[in-house]
């Protein structure tokens, strides 16, 4: 069995069980919120926060897996997003939305370590994407629009400092 056959087989199996996958995704969110609520009612809210972080992290991981699968389907199989099963596409989005709503019912999201980490990583990725987009617009002749070489070096230095700070917040302990 080739990797292509394996991926096609996995997708067909997921397509057959799309409703079950959607229900499991929603059960993850609802069950996680209930477990976090029970953990909060214990001796300390620490257990509830740990459960809440796991639930939010799992929902985000599920979304990342589906986005990567969609990218692989587009790159390797020449399939569009519109060719995918609707329930399989909606499942991680509903899981993440229900997880955030349910966990928000139990704890403020700003108290969770996973949400802070996701925010920092998201800001870092957005800053990197903006930098790549900005550099792709100029293609070498943009220095005439930015001013002198000194101005360009100042802007580049500020960008490097911003990216280092965002990297440290996102990935340092």
Boundary-marking domain end, from 64, 93, 108: 108
Task: Show the domain range for 135.
Answer: 112-173
Residue in this structure with the two tokens 């139990």, named with its chain if needed: 106
CB 39 within 8 A of CB 48: yes
In this prediction, residue 173 carries a pLDDT of 59
- Together in a domain, 30 and 44: yes
In this prediction, residue 122 carries a pLDDT of 82
- Together in a domain, 143 and 172: yes
Buried b (16+ CB within 10 A) or exposed e, 2-25: eeeeeeeeebeebeeebeebbeeb
CA end-to-end span of the chain: 42
Tokens representing residue 53 in the block: 């972080």
Q: Taking the chain (173 residues) in consecutive chunks of 10 residues, what is each chunk's mean pLDDT?
A: 89 93 95 88 77 89 90 86 90 92 86 81 82 69 61 78 80 68
Tokens representing residue 109 in the block: 């999201």
Q: What is the 3-state secondary structure (H, E, C) of the chain?
A: CCHHHHHHHHHHHHHHCHHHHHHHHHHHHHHHHHHHHHHHCCCCCHHHHHHHHHHHHHHHHHHHHHHHHHHHHHHHHCCCHHHCCHHHHHHHHHHHHHHHHHHHHHCCHHHCHHHHHHHHHHHHHHHHHHHHHHHHHHCCCCHHHHCCHHHHHHHHHHHHHHHHHHHHHHHCC
Q: In terms of Cα–Cα distance, which of 39, 42, 56 is closest to 119? A: 56
CB count in 10 Å sphere of residue 149: 9
Boundary-marking domain end, from 85, 108, 131: 108
CB 73 within 8 A of CB 84: yes
- Together in a domain, 7 and 83: yes
In this prediction, residue 46 carries a pLDDT of 79
Whether the pTM exceeds 0.75: the reply is: no
- What is the number of domains present in the chain? 2
- Together in a domain, 75 and 121: no
- Together in a domain, 85 and 22: yes
């Amino acid at each position: 069995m080739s990797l292509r056959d394996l991926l096609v087989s996995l997708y067909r199996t997921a397509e057959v069980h799309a409703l079950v996958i959607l229900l499991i995704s929603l059960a993850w969110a609802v069950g996680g919120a209930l477990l976090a609520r029970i953990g909060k009612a214990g001796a300390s809210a620490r257990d509830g926060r740990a459960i809440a972080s796991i639930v939010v992290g799992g929902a985000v991981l599920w979304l990342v897996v589906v986005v990567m699968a969609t990218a692989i389907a587009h790159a390797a199989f020449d399939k569009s997003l519109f060719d995918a099963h609707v329930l399989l596409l909606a499942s991680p989005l509903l899981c993440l939305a229900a997880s955030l709503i349910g966990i928000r019912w139990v704890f403020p999201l700003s108290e969770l370590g996973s949400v802070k980490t996701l925010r920092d990583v998201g800001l870092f990725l957005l800053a990197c994407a903006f930098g790549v987009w900005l550099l792709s617009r100029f293609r070498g002749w943009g220095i005439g629009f930015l001013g002198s070489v000194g101005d360009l070096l100042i802007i580049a230095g500020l960008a490097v400092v911003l990216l280092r700070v965002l990297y440290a917040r996102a990935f340092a302990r």
